[in-house]
Structure 1
Amino acid sequence: MKTLPEDFIQYTQELMGDELFQQLKQGITEGEAPTSIRINPFKCKEGEDAAGEPIPWCPSTGRYLSTRPNFTFDPWLHAGKYYVQEASSMFVDLVIRQLVHKPVMMLDLCAAPGGKSTAVRAALPEGSLLFSNEPMRTRSQILAENIQKFGHPDMIVTNSYPRDYKKSKLQFDVILTDVPCSGEGMFRKDDGAISEWSLQNVDNCWHLQREIVSDIWNCLKPGGLLIYSTCTFNAHEDEENIAWICEELGADAIALNDIDEAWNITGNLIGTDIPVYRFLPGKTRGEGIFLAVLRKEGEPEMEKEDKKKKKDKNKDKGKNRGNKGKCLQVPTDWLKSSDYETIAEDDNFYAIPSRWKAIYEDAARNLKVIHAGIKLGTSKGKDIIPDQSLALSTELNTEVFPQVELSYEDAIRYLRKEAVNLPADTPKGYVLVTYQQMPLGWEKNIGNRANNLYPQEWKIKSSHVPEEPCVISKK
Structure 2
Amino acid sequence: MPQLPAAFITSVEQVTGFRKEPFLAVHASGEQVTSVRFNPAKKALLEGEWLQQQQQGPLQQVPWCNEAYYLPQRPMFTFDPLLHGGVYYVQEASSMFLQHMLKNTVGTQTAGLKVLDLCAAPGGKSTLLASYFTDGLLVTNEVIKSRSGILVENMTKWGAANVVVTNNDPKDFTALEGYFDVIVVDAPCSGSGLFRRDAAAIEEWSIDNVALCNQRQQRILADILPALKPGGWLIYATCSYSAEEDEQIMDWLMQSFNLHNKAVDVPVEWNVVATQAPQSGATGYRFFPDRVKGEGFFIAAFQQQDGTEFHGRKKMLPPAGKTETKMAAEWVTPGIPLYYFAQQEHVLAIAEQWQEEVALLQKQLYLRKAGVNIGAVKGKDLVPSHELALSLIHHPNLQKITLGPDDALQYLRRKEFAVNIAGKGWTMAVYQGITLGWMKLLPNRVNNYYPTEWRILKD
> C-alpha distance in 1, partners of 2:268/2:419?
55
Verify the 8 A CA contact 2:36 2:91 in the aligned structure 1. Answer: yes
Task: Note if 1:441 corresponds to 2:440.
Answer: no
The offset of 1:28, in angstroms, is 2.2
Match of 1:11 in 2: 11
Q: Distance in 2 between matches of 1:20 and 1:271?
A: 20
- Structure 2 residue corresponding to 1:455, chosen from 451, 454, 458: 451
Does the 8 Å contact 1:34/1:64 carry over to 2? yes
Match status 1:117 vs 2:126: yes
1:445 deviates by: 1.4
- Alignment counterpart, residue 161 of structure 2, candidates 132, 147, 153: 153
Cα shift readout 1:450-471 (whole Å, capped 9, x = no counterpart):
11000111111112xxxxxxxx
| Alpha-carbon distance between aligned partners in 2 of 1:454 and 1:170, rounded to the nearest angstrom | 41
Residue 271 of structure 1: CA displacement?
4.6
Where does residue 421 of structure 1 map in the other structure? 418
Kindly provide the CA deviation profile for residues 422-470 of structure 1, in whole angstroms up to 9, marking residues without a partner as x.
2241x2210111011111110011211111000111111112xxxxxxx
Alpha-carbon distance between aligned partners in 2 of 1:396 and 1:328, rounded to the nearest angstrom: 14
Contact conserved, 1:12 with 1:21, CA < 8 A, in 2? no
TM-fit CA distance, 1:333: 2.7
Cross-structure match for 2:187: 179
Deviation (angstroms), 1:329: 5.1
Aligned counterparts of 1:154 and 1:328: Cα–Cα separation in 2? 19
- The aligned counterpart of 2:377 is 379
Q: For residues 424 and 301 of structure 1, do their structure 2 counterparts lie closer, same or farther at Cα, with a shift above 3 Å needed?
A: closer
Which residues in structure 2 correspond to 1:30-45 (within 5 Å)? 30-45=29-44
* Structural mapping, 1:190-209, within 5 Å: 190-209=198-217
CA drift of 1:3 comes to 0.6
2:55 matched residue in structure 1: none
Residue 419 (structure 2) pairs with residue 410 (structure 1):
no
Equivalent AA in structure 1 for residue 275 of structure 2: N
The equivalences for 1:64-143 within 5 A come to: 64-100=70-106, 101-102=108-109, 103=111, 104-124=113-133, 126-143=134-151
2:254 and 2:202 map into 1 onto residues whose CA distance is 31
Which SS does the other structure have where 1:278 is aligned?
strand
What's the TM-score once normalised by structure 2's chain length? Answer: 0.91
- Distance in 2 separating the partners of 1:141 and 1:46: 27
Give the Å deviation of 1:252: 1.4
**Contact conserved, 1:442 with 1:454, CA < 8 A, in 2?**
yes
Quote the Cα distance in structure 1 between the aligned partners of 2:278 and 2:220.
26
Deviations 1:335-375 (A, max 9, x none): 22341121111122211111010000111111111111111
Q: Deviations over 1:93-143 (max 9, x none)?
A: 11112222322111000001111111122223x421111111111111100
Query: For residues 377 and 281 of structure 1, what CA distance do their matches in structure 2 show?
Result: 46
What stretches of structure 2 of length at least 5 have no aligned partner? Answer: 52-57
Deviations 1:302-324 (A, max 9, x none): 9x9x9x99xx9xx99x7349xxx
Alignment coverage as a number of residue pairs: 445
8 Å Cα contact 1:33-1:287 kept in structure 2: no
User: Where does residue 362 of structure 1 map in the other structure?
Assistant: 360
Specify whether residues 168 and 16 from structure 1 end up closer, same or farther in structure 2 by C-alpha distance, changes over 3 A only: closer
Is 1:351 matched up with 2:375? Answer: no
Take 1:386 and 1:62, find their aligned partners in 2: how far apart are those partners?
A: 32
Hey, what's the Cα distance between the residues in 2 that align with 1:360 and 1:293? 27
The one-letter code of the counterpart of 1:459 is R
Task: List aligned pairs for 1:313-328, cutoff 5 A.
Answer: 319-320=320-321
Amino acid across the alignment from 2:384: P
Task: Kindly state the Cα deviation for residue 220 of structure 1 after the two structures are TM-superposed.
Answer: 0.2
Q: Name the amino acid aligned to 2:28.
A: T
Distance 1:415 1:157 in 2: 24
Tell me the percent identity: 37
Task: State the match for 1:466 in structure 2.
Answer: none
Moved more, 293-302 or 231-240: 293-302
Give the whole-Å Cα distance in 2 for the aligned partners of 1:72 and 1:46: 21
Matched, 1:232 2:240: yes
| TM-fit CA distance, 1:33 | 2.6
Change in 2 beyond 3 A, CA 1:46/1:431: closer
CA distance in 1, matches of 2:85, 2:340: 24
Residue in 2 that maps onto 1:263: 270
User: Separation in 2 of the partners of 1:25 and 1:226?
Assistant: 33
**Structure 2: how far apart are the matches of 1:61 and 1:328?**
36
- Return the letter of the residue paired with 2:83: L
Decide whether the 8 Å contact of 2:272 with 2:286 is kept in 1: yes
**How many angstroms apart in 2 are the aligned matches of 1:320 and 1:287?**
51
Q: Deviations over 1:139-165 (max 9, x none)?
A: 111001100111111111111110111
The structure-2 alpha-carbon separation of the partners of 1:274 and 1:327, relative to structure 1 and needing over 3 Å to count, comes to closer
Which SS does the other structure have where 2:282 is aligned? Answer: coil
Measured after TM superposition, the shift of residue 419 of structure 1 is 1.2
1:53 shift after superposition: 1.1
- Aligned-residue offset at 1:379: 3.0
Which residue matches 1:249?
257
Structure 1 equivalent of residue 27 of structure 2: 28
1:243/1:270 CA distance change after superposition, 3 Å: closer
| Aligned mates of 1:249, 1:225 — CA distance in 2 | 13
Aligned in 2, Cα 1:85/1:69: closer, same or farther, shift over 3 Å?
A: same
Q: Give, in whole Å, the separation in 2 of the partners of 1:129 and 1:34.
A: 32
Aligned to 1:63: 69
Deviations 1:208-248 (A, max 9, x none): 00000000011000111000000000100101101111111
- The DSSP-based 3-state class of the residue aligned with 1:398 is coil
Aligned partners of 1:327, 1:32: CA distance in 2, in Å?
A: 54
Letter in 2 for 1:319: A
- What is the identity, as a one-letter code, of the residue corresponding to 1:64? Y
CA contact 2:226–2:307 (8 Å) conserved in 1:
no
